[in-house]
Chains A and B, each alone.
Chain A
Amino acid sequence: MNYDFIKLTVGVLATIGLYSALYKETKLYRFFEHIFLGLAAGFTLVAVWTETLKPMWWDQMVGRTADGSEESVPGLWLFAILVPIGLLGYTVFSRKHNWMSRIPIGIILGLWAGQQVQVWWTRYGPQMSDSMVPIIPTTSQFRVPPTDGLPTEQIQAIASQLYVSQALSNIVLVFTVLSVLSYFFFSFELKSRLVKGVNLSGRWLLMIGFGAIFGSTVMGRFALVIDRMFFIWIEWFKEGILRIPG
């Protein structure tokens, strides 16, 4: 019984213990649930200092003296103000002083809000330009001709045209964007039949997007179950107990 096998076995027991919740909530499930929460909390206690506060706050505040090939780095004494401000967040547990917890939250939200001015355009500008596609065909040909084996000039000539099939696809794209956007017009009443029709189409087209999300989510979640089964049946049972290489 080597370390790797013991580690695998404990992991399998913990997995099965948590899966017992599928039958019903048992003491076994609660046991492992509490171990999980405790370990996660303990790890966060370590990561807060080792991964974040020490390199970003302490090391920059105290600086570094010259050390062989490393030149000295001065300390930024103003950083001493930051952790006390962050610790104000813990006043949320105090009835009298809990308003002070809004100060660090206000700083973080203020920094976020100030960035929205620029980041909004960086994110959505290309999206908007990508949605503005030509919808009027430049030729009466329906299909895009095949380009296999054609010289470059002919391929370029074909690419410069907008064929009817492409125009139809583009119309569908533009209509989808506009109709789904129109679905979110909640601030005024929709009176016109045309607008109501577009709004209804938007709702239907929205369902396509949601259907795609559902399908993709199913793949994602099932991959997690398959991974757990692989861990139990192949890594632990087949390779660990039966000693058959996976």
Chain B
Amino acid sequence: MNLLRLGKILQGVPRQALYTMLIVVASVPLFFRVEVPNSPDQPAIDLFVTLNTIPAERPVLVESDWTLSSRGESMGQMEALLRIMMRRNVKFVLYSGADPQAPQVARNVIRRINAERKRAGQPEYKKWVDWVDAGYYPDLAGLANAMATDIRRAFAGRQDTNERGSMQDIFRSPVLQNVKSISDVALLVNVHASGTIDILNERLYRRVPLASMCTGVMGPQSMPYYASGQLVGISVGLKGVYDLEQMMEYGVVGKSIRERPHPKTIVSSNHDEIVIQPFTGQKNYDRAARYYFSLHFAMTLMIVAIIAGNIGMILTRKPKRKGGQ
């Protein structure tokens, strides 16, 4: 086969063949459970350490700005976040700012995690007592400004169903009754697919610690804010979720700690004396662990396709004529 013909073949794979290849490489690995070796990134480690060291008696604000359009990444992030908070008995306030569908999607995830806890014999997270739903805000900038000034008036008028089944002001709930200002909140975590962390960063930086759990698309743009210290931690995309699941499985220790809970315990280079025990005997590896293996094959396909196209281009390139002939 001459090189020109090979080049044309390499550049001429029909798109339906490419699509079929992608479907195959994305599907087949899902049938195999493989623990992919991995080294968590420091931003994800910082996020995990923060989630495991915030005082359990102070609530967390969870801004859920995603829908199933980014289920592959955001749902895993939300599930990991909820599992960590629920296992530590950290109360949280759920609200959304980007999409009217987002609150319902988040509630569905909470319901599913509660069902998982019930099957495992653990207490379910009760609405009103352990978490409250503060609803949807189309003008997120306005909400963030109001939270910075007076969090009680930011969520003024919001009611949720209490234990007796009647609607009551959310600041009457055990979750928020001790919160007088934004500084009483331990952390604000934004699970997003659309860059809403920028709006929060602009208005709430230095008032409350901010953390971001974003999709791969938003990751590079959010990294500079982590680098400058405006975010305490960040989990980016599917890898970020896998990092969190791995840390939940094996724990994290600071770089000065010699004795580790497990041979695969992760060492944090940003911390010295910290020890975070793994969640032994509980469900840690979940969605990301299933998807991450497939991701390797899918990305390999992308790399091979790009390289093949370029080799094809080089092989079919007409040689430059010499001497004007």
Complex contact flag A–B (Cβ < 8 Å): yes
Point out residues on A near B: beta carbons under 8 Å.
22-23, 40, 43-44, 47-48, 51-52, 55-56, 59-60, 67, 69-70, 73, 108, 111-112, 115, 119-120, 122-123, 126-127, 129-130, 209, 212-213, 216-230, 232-234, 238
Q: How many residues of B contact A (CB 8 A)?
A: 62
- What number of residue pairs across chains A and B have CB atoms under 8 A from each other? 158
Neighbour of B203 across the interface among A73, A122, A226, CB < 8 A:
A122
Given A56-B157, A209-B220, CB of A219 within 8 Å of CB of B169 = no
> Are B72 and A130 in touch, CB under 8 angstroms?
no
Which residues of chain B have C-beta atoms less than 8 A from A221's C-beta? 216-217
Given A115-B145, A222-B295, A224-B71, CB of A230 within 8 Å of CB of B205 = no
> Are A226 and B298 in touch, CB under 8 angstroms?
yes
> Are A226 and B26 in touch, CB under 8 angstroms?
yes
Stretch at the interface among B53-61, B81-89, B223-231: B223-231
Which of B16, B100, B169, B294 has its CB near the most chain A CB atoms (within 10 A)? B100
A220 to B299, CA, bound (A): 11
> Are B135 and A123 in touch, CB under 8 angstroms?
no
The reply to whether the CB of B159 lies closer than 8 angstroms to some CB of chain A is yes
> Are A222 and B157 in touch, CB under 8 angstroms?
no
A127 to B237, CA, bound (A): 23
Given A126-B229, A129-B228, CB of A219 within 8 Å of CB of B299 = yes
A112 to B202, CA, bound (A): 12
Given A55-B157, A225-B26, A233-B27, CB of A216 within 8 Å of CB of B203 = no
The reply to whether the CB of B307 lies closer than 8 angstroms to some CB of chain A is no
What are 23 contact pairs spanning A and B, CB under 8 A? A22-B16, A43-B100, A60-B157, A69-B172, A70-B169, A111-B139, A111-B141, A115-B141, A115-B145, A126-B205, A127-B224, A130-B228, A213-B217, A213-B220, A216-B236, A219-B237, A223-B237, A225-B22, A225-B298, A226-B291, A227-B72, A229-B294, A232-B27
Q: Lowest 10 CB-CB distances: which A-B pairs, in order?
A: A220-B216, A47-B100, A227-B72, A223-B72, A119-B202, A130-B228, A51-B136, A219-B216, A126-B228, A223-B238
The reply to whether the CB of B101 lies closer than 8 angstroms to some CB of chain A is yes
A167 to B172, CA, bound (A): 54
Neighbour of B294 across the interface among A217, A218, A226, CB < 8 A:
A226
> Are A229 and B100 in touch, CB under 8 angstroms?
no
Neighbour of A233 across the interface among B31, B166, B302, CB < 8 A:
B31
A92 to B217, CA, bound (A): 34
> Are B229 and A130 in touch, CB under 8 angstroms?
yes
The reply to whether the CB of B290 lies closer than 8 angstroms to some CB of chain A is yes
Closest Cβ of chain B to A220, distance in Å, is: 3
The reply to whether the CB of B312 lies closer than 8 angstroms to some CB of chain A is no
Q: Which of B134-179 contact A (CB under 8 A)?
A: 135-139, 141-142, 145, 156-159, 166, 168-169, 172
Which residues of chain B have C-beta atoms less than 8 A from A59's C-beta? 157, 159
Cβ-closest chain A residue relative to B29: A226
Cβ-closest chain A residue relative to B142: A111
Cβ-closest chain B residue relative to A129: B228
A120 to B199, CA, bound (A): 11
Q: Which of B83-110 contact A (CB under 8 A)?
A: 100-101, 103
Which residues of chain A have C-beta atoms less than 8 A from B294's C-beta? 226, 229
A103 to B136, CA, bound (A): 24
A227 to B236, CA, bound (A): 16
Which residues of chain B have C-beta atoms less than 8 A from A217's C-beta? 216-217
Cβ-closest chain A residue relative to B224: A127
> Are B135 and A51 in touch, CB under 8 angstroms?
yes
> Are B230 and A126 in touch, CB under 8 angstroms?
yes
Q: Which of B196-210 contact A (CB under 8 A)?
A: 198, 201-203, 205-206
> Are A52 and B138 in touch, CB under 8 angstroms?
yes
Which residues of chain B have C-beta atoms less than 8 A from A48's C-beta? 100
Given A223-B238, A224-B70, A233-B27, CB of A47 within 8 Å of CB of B229 = no
A220 to B229, CA, bound (A): 25
Closest Cβ of chain B to A102, distance in Å, is: 18
The reply to whether the CB of B284 lies closer than 8 angstroms to some CB of chain A is no
The reply to whether the CB of B239 lies closer than 8 angstroms to some CB of chain A is yes
Cβ-closest chain B residue relative to A68: B166
> Are A218 and B302 in touch, CB under 8 angstroms?
yes
Which residues of chain B have C-beta atoms less than 8 A from A129's C-beta? 228
A56 to B137, CA, bound (A): 9
Which residues of chain A have C-beta atoms less than 8 A from B30's C-beta? 226, 229-230, 233-234
